[in-house]
Structure formats: C-alpha cells, structure tokens
C-alpha cells in the first residue's frame, strides 16, 4: 500500500462531527486465537459513515501502530446518497491540495453493473494499474446469486474478457459493480461526471491524514497490510446488498485457479513472480522477522513476505505459536500473489500451512 503523504493544511469539516472517545479495548488480552489488541482512540462521524482511529498491537513484545479505517453505514438509498455526497466532498477537498499528476488510490462504485468489455475499456481509459474488483456472479448449479472481490485478471491482458467471464466451474460472471486502483488526480472530475460511475472514493483524504498526523506521536508507524481490502469491501458489501440484494462470498475463494500445488524454488519464484501469480505453491526457507514486522507477516530467507492471518485464516495459534521461531527452516504451502504498486512491486505468500522441518 502506498505510504501516506501528510498535508499540512486546514481541514474543512462542515459536514463532520468530531467526537473523541475514551480508550475502548476491543480485545482485552492476547488469547489463544492469536488476534491482536486494538484500542479505539478517536472517531469522526459524517453523513453515511464514520472514520475510526485504532491503536493496534500484534504481540505483547511488538510496537503499537496506528490504523485509520473508513466505515460506511449504508442501509437505505438515503444512506447511500449521504455517503456518496460526503465522500465526493472529501475527494474534492483533497484535489485542492494535490497536483493533477499525483496518483491517488481510489475505489470506483458503478451505478449499474458493467459487462467485462465495458469495464476493460473504462480501466484502460482512466486507471493506471489494476487492483481489486467487486463483481456480481451466479452459481449455475444452485442458481444462487452473490458478490465477491477479485484480484485479477488484469484488464490490460489480452485474455481479460475470456478469463474474467469464466471464473471457475459452476460460477458465471454477471457484471462488475466496483473497482479499486490508481487514478491521476487530474482525471477525477472526468470520472465523477461519467454516467457509469456513482462514486470516486479516496482511500486517503484530508481528514484521515490529519488524524494520522495527530496520533502518530503516540505510535511508531502507520499500519497497512490488508487495510486497503478492508476499505473497499466494507463499502462494496453494503452496496451489493442494498442495490442488488446479494450477499458477500468469501474473498478470492471463487477465483482460485484449478491447479495443484507446485514445488517452487524461492529464487526462481522471485525472479519471475508474474508466472506464479495466484498459484498454490510449496516452498522451503528460513523464517525471519517473526513478530518484528508490521502486521501478521514474517520473511522467508529474508526476501519473501509471508502472511499468516487473512480473511478467515489464522495460522498463529495452531502452527506458529511455540512451534516456529526465527532461524527455523520451514516448509510453507499457500497462495502466491504478485502486485504492481505505485513504486515497485510486492510479492506475498498467503500461507495455508507452515511446518518446521
């Protein structure tokens, strides 16, 4: 996730009511579940949602860090209109303090679901790099509709329409309802006036930046990790339920390729990461930086980032705690993802199984 840029500017809060709340420990202690402790330290309410600041700590010995999250509260069309108006106002205020050539992380929510070809054209015309999409789909066996988040294929690929239409056996794509990616600030107004687009929502606005500045003195750094997925999915799941009457399907689960597990050398993996993108792999290496990184991560051979807690998976209490230490030679099985970022790229193995060997 791109690093946060702080803007030393006054923030207009005409629609927002700021309320500082007392420390509220969401997790009272570190228990067998392995989940971290979070403290809510401030919230900023706005029509249609709330921005919440948390102080988070992964382990008793690790440093705490700040997490800022935008939560929508969309239960009706009027709530949706209020959220869209508030976030559009936040975006327009941000545009006054950034250059037209600056790349912003945004989420686009569409007025109606787009066909793959229409979505591909929109992405190619406006967005710099693909990231996440929210889609409507239908299980052709049961007939059950649903919505889910997809990380690929890329709209820039020649096979995009074909790959995106045939997601997995029994699932058929209905349409794309939202997307996340990088957008030049100078293109925001054009997209806002596009009849296909309901909302261009910034991942960071002046209020979130002000909150980070305010609380950074109490923490060493700002957390990232999977926060961008949280930001997107909270809005999209409520929108899908309200506008299309569908429930959320577990993220990524219907997009896993029908492939077995491939044994991969870690050097070969990182020298050609796009070849293994989304593949389920088996890899060996030495664990390092366990308990020292931001979030539920450690390094393998000091070069491959491994995530052990995501979605509904948490390997810490059963496969890591009291079993794996830094310096141990381990075998890992998991799903490999390769992402292009604003600066450079990120290769991450989302672990499903970890064993000391």
State pTM to two decimals. Answer: 0.67
Give pLDDT, residue 169: 62
Side-chain half-sphere CA neighbours of 85 within 13 A: 12
Using only the alpha carbons of the chain, give its radius of gyration: 21
Those residues with Cβ within 8 angstroms of residue 102's Cβ, 6 or more apart along the chain or in another chain: 184, 185
Give pLDDT, residue 261: 62
Give pLDDT, residue 47: 97
Residue 26 lies in a domain: no
184 and 265, same structural domain?
Answer: no
pLDDT category at 193 given cuts 50, 70, 90 is very high
Cα distances from 22 to residues 25, 41, 55, in angstroms, run 10, 6, 12
The percent of residues above 70 in pLDDT, for the chain, comes to 72
249 and 267, same structural domain?
Answer: no
Question: 316 is in which domain, residue-wise?
Answer: 259-356
Instruction: Give yes or no for a contact between 309 and 299, defined as CB atoms under 8 angstroms apart.
Output: no
Give pLDDT, residue 131: 65
pLDDT tens digits, 126-184: 887 656 778 888 877 788 888 887 765 566 666 666 666 666 667 778 889 998 888 99
pLDDT tens digits, 274-323: 788 778 888 999 999 998 887 889 999 999 999 998 767 889 888 998 89
Residue 193, SS3? coil
Count: domains in the chain = 2
Q: Is the pLDDT of residue 1 over 60?
A: no
177 and 130, same structural domain?
Answer: yes
Candidate ranges 62-76, 107-121, 236-250; pick with highest mean pLDDT: 107-121
For residue 212, the tally of other CB atoms under 10 A from its CB is 18
182 and 114, same structural domain?
Answer: yes
Residue 13 lies in a domain: no
Residue 273 lies in a domain: yes
293 and 172, same structural domain?
Answer: no
Give pLDDT, residue 22: 30
265 and 239, same structural domain?
Answer: no
Helix 77-95 vs helix 206-215: crossing angle, to nearest 10? 70
Q: Is the pLDDT of residue 4 over 50?
A: no
CATH number at residue 298: 2.40.50.140
pLDDT tens digits, 77-87: 999 999 999 99
102 and 207, same structural domain?
Answer: yes
342 and 272, same structural domain?
Answer: yes
């Amino acid at each position: 996730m791109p690093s946060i840029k702080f803007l030393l500017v006054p923030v207009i809060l005409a629609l927002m009511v700021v309320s500082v709340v007392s420390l509220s420990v969401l997790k009272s202690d570190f228990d067998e579940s392995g989940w971290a402790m979070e403290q809510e330290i401030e919230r900023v309410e706005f029509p249609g949602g709330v921005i919440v600041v948390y102080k988070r700590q992964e382990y008793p010995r690790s440093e705490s860090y700040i997490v800022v999250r935008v939560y929508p509260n969309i239960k009706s069309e009027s709530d949706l209109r209020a959220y869209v108006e508030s976030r559009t106002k936040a975006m327009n205020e941000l545009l006054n303090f950034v250059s037209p050539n600056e790349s912003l992380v945004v989420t686009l929510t569409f007025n109606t679901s787009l066909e793959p070809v229409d979505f591909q054209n929109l992405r190619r015309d406006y967005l710099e790099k693909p990231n996440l999409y929210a889609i409507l789909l239908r299980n052709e066996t049961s007939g059950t509709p649903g919505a889910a988040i997809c990380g690929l294929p890329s709209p820039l690929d020649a096979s995009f329409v074909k790959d995106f239409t045939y997601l997995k056996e029994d699932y058929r794509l209905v349409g794309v309802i939202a997307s996340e990616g990088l957008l030049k600030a100078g293109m925001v107004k054009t997209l806002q006036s596009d009849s296909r687009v309901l909302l261009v929502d910034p991942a960071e606005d002046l209020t979130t930046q002000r909150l980070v500045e305010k609380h950074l003195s109490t923490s060493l750094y700002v957390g990232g990790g999977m926060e961008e997925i949280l930001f997107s999915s909270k809005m999209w799941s409520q929108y899908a339920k309200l506008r299309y009457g569908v429930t959320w399907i577990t993220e990524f689960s219907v997009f896993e390729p029908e492939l077995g597990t491939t044994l991969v050398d870690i050097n070969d993996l990182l020298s050609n990461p796009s070849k293994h993108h989304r593949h389920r792999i088996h890899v060996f290496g030495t664990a390092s930086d366990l308990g020292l990184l931001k979030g539920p991560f450690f390094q393998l051979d000091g070069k491959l980032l491994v995530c052990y807690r995501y979605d509904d998976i948490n390997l810490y209490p059963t496969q890591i705690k009291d079993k794996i230490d830094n310096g141990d030679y381990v075998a890992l099985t998991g799903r490999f993802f390769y992402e292009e970022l604003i600066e450079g790229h990120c290769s991450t193995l989302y672990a499903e199984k970890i064993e000391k060997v």
